[in-house]
């Protein structure tokens, strides 16, 4: 069976996009794949994180994984910093990857102010090297299947380049140590059905994001029913009625987003949802969407609250996950140290 690795940064409260685009899609994989789900706290600190918040969000994400249906006996659930090999392999990959590769990453350019790096005095060196650490996260377990959204496609491509370059640079040594070919497998994006890209409730051209400054644009997994209803009611839309089929949503980004969320939450197709709501106005659709969102999210939020209230128990789960992760990581890392030529 293929091994899956994915992670979420503890850099803010989890939102509907993280749920529909990531967490919910992780759950069925634990029955078909060997699965590792990480809370990537070392990635989170590439931008400043208050240490108290960082801990709280780390527990919150681990709790969300479990509340959404990940079983800590089936999946390895852990936080990245507890398996120090991530940092060790990340360093080696910093020495495999090229500066030019990192400079081309659009996510970095967005934050650093383009190729010229106008904000480069403001952004951390860690943010620049982020993709090498991500490559380490995946390749430390020789994971071959990575369920990530479009926002991570470019980074995953770089992981593939790092795997290939490592295999190539150390070809002789890999062979000398008895390896038959490549040391690292080249991982692939794992497509798990139509992946919903949830957009901001205030701007249909922007993705919903943990680090969005406007709270009204984002539905958080822990929002209560009233707040969810209020945010959906105030979501930006046009004034037209809903079309009766998906094609009618073209050019209507906000409408497309809300209908897409409804379809995704109810596991129905957009056409099916529009078959029901076509011709209706937002006064009918928005309350229905609010009810559905609450019906899906409230039980998960309740379970998350219960789980995070017992940090001792969460610590046990994360420590156990880290120990199991290390049993996979350690032999891989031992192989890497030998290949690179580190004396032990
Ligand atoms: P940040 O703003 O700090 O980058 P984020 O909300 O983008 O936070 P990440 O930790 O970067 O969250 O991503 C975690 C996972 O959630 C990734 O698999 C990513 O593809 C997915 N994801 C993030 N935002 C969305 C969204 N709006 N719709 C669907 N999936 C999303
Ligand atoms: Mg992100």
319 within some domain: yes
216 within some domain: no
Any idea what the CATH number is for the domain that residue 33 is in?
A: 3.40.50.620
248 within some domain: yes
Q: Do 237 and 99 have their domain in common?
A: no
- 111 is known as an active-site residue: yes
Q: Do 26 and 160 have their domain in common?
A: yes
Confirm or reject: Cβ of 204 under 6 Å from ligand 1. no
Per-residue pLDDT band for 211 (boundaries 50, 70, 90) equals: confident
Per-residue pLDDT band for 194 (boundaries 50, 70, 90) equals: low
* pLDDT for residue 116 is more than 80: no
Total structural domains in the chain? 2
51 within some domain: yes
- 146 or 114, which is more confident? 146
ipTM: 0.98
Q: Do 27 and 143 have their domain in common?
A: yes
Q: Which residues contact 315 (CB under 8 A, 6 or more apart)?
A: none
Q: Does 103 carry a binding-site annotation? A: no
* pLDDT for residue 27 is more than 90: yes
Q: Which of 111, 142, 199, 231 is catalytic?
A: 111
Confirm or reject: Cβ of 208 under 6 Å from ligand 1. yes
**Number of CB atoms found within 10 A of residue 140's CB:** 27
Which residue intervals of the chain are DSSP H helices? 16-18, 24-26, 41-44, 51-67, 85-96, 99-103, 106-112, 125-139, 153-169, 171-176, 225-233, 253-265, 270-277, 282-308, 311-340
Confirm or reject: Cβ of 203 under 6 Å from ligand 1. no
Rounded to a whole number of angstroms, the CA Rg of the chain reads: 21
Q: Do 41 and 92 have their domain in common?
A: yes
Q: Do 247 and 114 have their domain in common?
A: no
- 207 is known as an active-site residue: yes
Q: Do 161 and 280 have their domain in common?
A: no
Q: Do 131 and 270 have their domain in common?
A: no
Per-residue pLDDT band for 215 (boundaries 50, 70, 90) equals: confident
Q: Do 130 and 265 have their domain in common?
A: no
Q: Does 315 carry a binding-site annotation? A: no
- The Cα angle at residue 304 between residues 36 and 225, in degrees rounded to 5: 130
Q: Do 189 and 232 have their domain in common?
A: no
**Number of CB atoms found within 10 A of residue 322's CB:** 20
Q: Which atom of ligand 1 is nearest to the CA of 207?
A: 27
Tell me how far the alpha carbon of residue 113 lies from the centroid of ligand 1, in angstroms: 21
pTM recorded for the entire structure:
0.95
Nearest one of 38, 23, 46 to 82, comparing CA atoms: 38
DSSP states along 91-122? HHHHHHS-HHHHHT-HHHHHHHTTTTTTTTTT
Q: Does 142 carry a binding-site annotation? A: no
- 153 is known as an active-site residue: no
pLDDT at 1: 86
Residues 190-202 have a mean pLDDT of: 84
* pLDDT for residue 195 is more than 90: no
Confirm or reject: Cβ of 211 under 6 Å from ligand 1. yes
User: Domain range for residue 278?
Assistant: 222-306
242 within some domain: yes
Q: Do 100 and 73 have their domain in common?
A: yes
* pLDDT for residue 218 is more than 80: yes
DSSP states along 15-36? BHHHIIIIIHHHGGGGGTSEEE
pLDDT at 15: 97
Q: Do 294 and 328 have their domain in common?
A: no
Computed over every residue of the chain, the mean pLDDT equals: 95
Q: Do 302 and 321 have their domain in common?
A: no
* pLDDT for residue 51 is more than 90: yes
Nearest one of 175, 146, 170 to 158, comparing CA atoms: 146
Tell me how far the alpha carbon of residue 15 lies from the centroid of ligand 2, in angstroms: 12
Q: Does 151 carry a binding-site annotation? A: yes
């Amino acid at each position: 069976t293929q091994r899956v690795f994915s992670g979420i940064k503890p850099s803010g409260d989890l939102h509907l996009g993280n749920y529909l685009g990531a967490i919910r899609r992780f759950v069925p994989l634990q029955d078909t794949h060997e699965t590792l789900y990480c809370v990537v706290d070392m990635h989170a600190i590439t931008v400043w994180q208050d240490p108290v918040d960082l801990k709280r969000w780390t527990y919150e994400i681990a709790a969300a994984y479990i509340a959404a249906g990940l079983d800590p006996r089936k999946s390895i659930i852990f936080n990245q910093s507890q398996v120090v090999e991530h940092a060790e392999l990340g360093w080696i990959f910093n020495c495999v990857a090229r500066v030019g590769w990192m400079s081309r990453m659009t996510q970095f350019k967005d934050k650093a102010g383009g190729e010229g790096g106008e904000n480069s005095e403001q952004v951390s060196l860690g943010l620049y090297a982020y993709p090498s650490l991500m490559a380490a996260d995946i390749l430390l377990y020789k994971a071959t299947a990575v369920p990530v959204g479009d926002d991570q496609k470019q980074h995953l491509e770089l992981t593939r380049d790092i795997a290939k370059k490592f295999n190539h640079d150390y070809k002789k040594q890999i062979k000398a140590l008895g390896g038959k070919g490549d040391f690292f497998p080249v991982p692939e994006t794992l497509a798990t059905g139509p992946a919903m890209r949830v957009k901001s409730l205030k701007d249909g051209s922007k993705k919903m994001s943990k680090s969005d400054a406007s709270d009204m644009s984002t539905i958080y997994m822990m929002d209560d029913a009233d707040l969810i209803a209020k945010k959906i009611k105030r979501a930006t839309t046009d004034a037209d009625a809903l079309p009766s089929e998906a094609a009618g949503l073209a050019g209507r980004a906000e409408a497309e987003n809300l209908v897409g969320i409804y379809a995704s939450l109810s596991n129905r197709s957009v056409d099916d949802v529009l078959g029901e709501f076509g011709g209706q106005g937002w006064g009918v659709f928005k309350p229905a969407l609010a009810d559905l969102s609450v019906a899906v999210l409230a039980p998960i939020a309740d379970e998350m609250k219960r789980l995070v209230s017992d940090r001792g128990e969460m610590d046990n789960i994360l420590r156990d996950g880290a120990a199991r992760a290390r049993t996979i990581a350690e032999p891989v890392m031992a192989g890497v140290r030998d290949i690179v030529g580190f004396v032990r």
